[in-house]
Amino acid sequence: MIAALLLTLAVGFVSSFYPGLPVEPYLIALMATTSHNAVVMGVVAGVGQSAGKMGIFLATRGAVRLPVLRRWIDRRKEEQAAADPSPPRWWTRWGQRLTAYARRLLPMEKPWMAFPMILLSSVVGIPPLLLMTFAAAATKMRAWVFLVACVIGRCVRLVAVALTPAAAGFFIT
């Protein structure tokens, strides 16, 4: 049982950043061929996936805030401004206004909307949680809020996946 728990945790962790190893087929196969508790295995896989997503979140947030990257971005902006000293054309101003308007509408920019977006993504998978992890790391979303939403959503999803063989009639006696 301990080996199965540790392996499920490891598969969940690796599958969080490597899409070539999804945890869902592993859970279905595990539940169809063993007599382990589906709820426990689903929660363990959810915790493993959430730990991996949290690692991605923190690494992305750290990379975005690296002073070296910030200096490089600032230098690129200065170079572009120096290369084109002409005043912005009407379409440039229109594009900037449209971008600012779209940013205000993005749910991830609003703290009270970020939690349900991550929760929805972690349960349903649309939009993909990996992309939402990168998006959340670029915003001011707190890490603990991301982690709570991710753990709840992933556990709900993976417990449902782990219960699928039993619902389909595959029982090991």
- Say if 89 falls within a structural domain: no
49-63 CB burial, b ≥16 within 10 A, e <16: bbbbbbebbeebbee
Of 85-89, 106-110, 115-119, 120-124, the poorest mean pLDDT is in: 85-89
Q: How far is it, in rounded angstroms, from Cα 60 to Cα 137?
A: 6
As a whole number, mean pLDDT of residues 22-41 equals 92
Residue-wise pLDDT tens digits, 82-101: 776 665 676 677 777 766 76
- Say if 94 falls within a structural domain: no
Of 32-41, 42-51, 162-171, the poorest mean pLDDT is in: 162-171
- Say if 160 falls within a structural domain: yes
Domain of 43 in residue numbering reads as: 2-83+111-168
- Say if 90 falls within a structural domain: no
Residue 105 has pLDDT above 60, yes or no: no
Q: Read off the pTM.
A: 0.76
The count of structural domains within the chain is 1
- Say if 32 falls within a structural domain: yes
Considering only residues 139 and 119, tell me which one the structure prediction assigns the higher pLDDT. 119
- Say if 88 falls within a structural domain: no
Average pLDDT in the chain: 85
- Say if 11 falls within a structural domain: yes
- Say if 132 falls within a structural domain: yes
pLDDT at residue number 172? 62
